[in-house]
Amino acid sequence: MGKVVEYMPSCHSTNDTAREMLVSTDIKEGTFVITDHQTAGKGQRGNSWFSAEGKNLTFSIILKPGFLSVDKQFYLNMIGSLAVKAMLNELVNDGHVEVKWPNDIILNGRKACGILIENSVRKSNIEYSIVGIGLNVNQKSIGLERATSLVNEANREYPLQQVLDSLLGHLESLYLKLKSGKEQEIKERYLESLLGYKRLRKYRAEYIFDGEIIDVRDSGHLEIRTPGGSELFDFKEVEFIWN
């Protein structure tokens, strides 16, 4: 991963640039699009992603997971989250890393990284996947109560290249694991990392309720055990309440 690199000093969204590249050329798997300054970064649920110029990592990787059926697409979210977690465990001493479903990476109780995955489907498999990662590295003032960065948690700045190399290394090895069929191991590691897994927490759907995450389906649906029985939620249908 990252052997073919498309670097832009500035762009709207690396996910959008990656998609444009897919239309126009025959792209090699692992091609990597990175910018210092994203002017219209996209987040999950139609949100925006803001990142200070030159301080953080904003990039997208193009995968061609033709081996993966659509109903297992959430494995791409799992390996993305686990790769960021592994990198943080390697680089941030005493950092406590958790994953907030579907794929927010929480460092010492605050979000340090967001992942936006956009898939295109051919027949019933994933033809292309654009894995967009926004990681707060050296930005001190973020202005969001529940957000943080590596510099804020480790009290030192990081060379962006070091962080990137570690992250891409972990992502590549997890992707190869997925390709070789080690789905169960990936799922177990993801569930163990998940905030609220087998723990009672508050959630908001159409109402507020207490529940315990008991599973995440291959499709990404979240299964929560509530006092009234277990319920399945799709993205956007349920939200974690922090306090």
Query: Which residues are at the interface with ligand BTN (CB under 6 A)?
Result: 13-15, 38, 41-44, 47, 49, 58-60, 104, 114-116, 132-134
User: Cβ of residue 37: shortest distance to ligand BTN, in angstroms?
Assistant: 11
Closest residue to bound ligand BTN by CB: 114
SS3 9: strand
Angle at the Cα of 237 (from 233 to 238), degrees rounded to 5?
A: 80
For residues 108 and 125, which CB has a smaller minimum distance to ligand BTN in the complex? 108
Backbone dihedral angles phi then psi of residue 154, each to the nearest 5 degrees: -105, -10
CB-CB contact of 43 with 118 (8 Å): no
Helical pair 74-91 and 183-193, crossing angle rounded to 10 deg:
60
The contacts of residue 84 (CB under 8 Å, 6+ apart) are 105, 113, 115, 133, 135, 167, 170
For residues 94 and 145, which CB has a smaller minimum distance to ligand BTN in the complex? 145
The contacts of residue 217 (CB under 8 Å, 6+ apart) are 74, 223, 232
For residues 117 and 213, which CB has a smaller minimum distance to ligand BTN in the complex? 117
User: Cβ of residue 182: shortest distance to ligand BTN, in angstroms?
Assistant: 26
User: Cβ of residue 117: shortest distance to ligand BTN, in angstroms?
Assistant: 9
CB-CB contact of 54 with 28 (8 Å): no
User: Cβ of residue 40: shortest distance to ligand BTN, in angstroms?
Assistant: 7
For residues 43 and 169, which CB has a smaller minimum distance to ligand BTN in the complex? 43
Q: How many CB atoms lie within 10 A of CB 49?
A: 17
User: Cβ of residue 31: shortest distance to ligand BTN, in angstroms?
Assistant: 14
For residues 6 and 177, which CB has a smaller minimum distance to ligand BTN in the complex? 6
- Distance (Å, whole) CA 72 – CA 124: 10
User: Cβ of residue 190: shortest distance to ligand BTN, in angstroms?
Assistant: 17
For residues 60 and 149, which CB has a smaller minimum distance to ligand BTN in the complex? 60
- Distance (Å, whole) CA 12 – CA 134: 13
